[in-house]
Amino acid sequence: MRKLFILSLVAVCMLGLATMSVAAQKATTKSSSHTVVGEVVSVDPANNTFTIKENVKGGGEAKELTFNFDAKGKVTVAGKPGKLDDLKSGDSATIRYTEREGKMIAQQIRVAKPAASKASSK
């Protein structure tokens, strides 16, 4: 009887540890969403990538960030649905992204208003 009790106790403990291990793995693979605001530097629609120069508060040094655009992602330009092709160099954009496998994956791109083209400023 005592051996059965100890064996049952060990089995319950092992099952509990296995469950905790699986839960810990799920927690580490979950990606949280981040937001960054910056100016569009370049867009490569063929590779679904784009680069922005991050706006830094407090006078810090701005850095360029390159994003991969999620196939299910959304682009909004001046409040209207758009495409990655609609992004232009100089646009001010807000990017919502997650990090997966060391890459920044953009799910949402919002451009407040397109940058004025040089031809229209003449």
Average pLDDT, the chain: 83
The predicted structure's pLDDT at residue 37: 94
- Rounded to an integer, what distance in angstroms lies between the CA atom of residue 84 and that of residue 44? 8
- The 10s digit of each residue's pLDDT in 95-119 is 999 999 889 999 999 998 766 655 4
Is 0.75 surpassed by the pTM of this model?
A: no
The predicted structure's pLDDT at residue 80: 93
- Rounded to an integer, what distance in angstroms lies between the CA atom of residue 24 and that of residue 111? 37
Work out the pLDDT band at 74, boundaries 50, 70, 90.
Answer: very high
